[in-house]
Structure 1
Amino acid sequence: MAKSLYPRPTIKKIVKAQSNRAISKDVDILVFLSYTLFMRSLITEAKIASKKAGETGKDALSARSVRKVREGVLRKYKG
């Protein structure tokens, strides 16, 4: 059996406690994938904003650029 990238039972407990509904067997996988896609979009948008602002450095990603794009990316992922 392959090792999980995240604690499946913990994710299921959190989702169940927050939703007050019955959850499907694989809800933790969907939550993890959504989170991964969200973080990827956030980082990509932040890198673009960082380059536009002329930031330099090894990775050219700063907290300022993440804060700048945070609202737009959150709106895209709002359920």
Structure 2
Amino acid sequence: MAAQTLYPRGTVKKIVKAHANKPLSKNADILIFLNYALFMQEVVKEASITSKQHGERGITALSVRKVRENCLRKFKG
């Protein structure tokens, strides 16, 4: 049975190569995906905290917009 991937590795590699104009190491796409997953987890966590502080029932687009810049700064690298 073939292992199922969470994302199309070839597509991710093509996109990164097009933007970076540099060769990629063998597993760079995996590291990029994991960093993306951690970033999204942080955005959801911070947006949840923000929405609870403002008395909202769930995460809204406004709560995501409020935390977006701060989370992007954390993951800039």
TM-score range, shorter chain: over 0.9
- What TM-score comes out, normalization by structure 2 length? 0.95
SS in 1 for 2:3: coil
AA aligned to 1:10 is T
Q: CA deviation at 1:22?
A: 1.2
Question: Counterparts of 2:47 and 2:13 in 1: how far apart (Å)?
Answer: 30
- What TM-score comes out, normalization by structure 1 length? 0.92
Q: CA deviation at 1:17?
A: 1.0
Q: CA deviation at 1:61?
A: 0.6
Bigger shift: residues 14-23 or 38-47: 14-23
**Which consecutive aligned stretches of 4+ in structure 1 deviate over 3 angstroms post-superposition?**
none
Question: Counterparts of 1:66 and 1:22 in 2: how far apart (Å)?
Answer: 34
SS in 2 for 1:37: helix
Paired residues, number:
76
Q: Are 1:19 and 2:17 counterparts?
A: no
Question: Counterparts of 2:21 and 2:4 in 1: how far apart (Å)?
Answer: 29
Structure 1: 5+ residue runs without aligned partners?
Answer: none
Q: Are 1:28 and 2:29 counterparts?
A: yes
AA aligned to 1:74 is L
Q: CA deviation at 1:51?
A: 0.3
SS in 2 for 1:50: helix
Q: Report the equivalent of 2:59.
A: 61
Q: Report the equivalent of 1:5.
A: 6
Q: CA deviation at 1:6?
A: 0.2
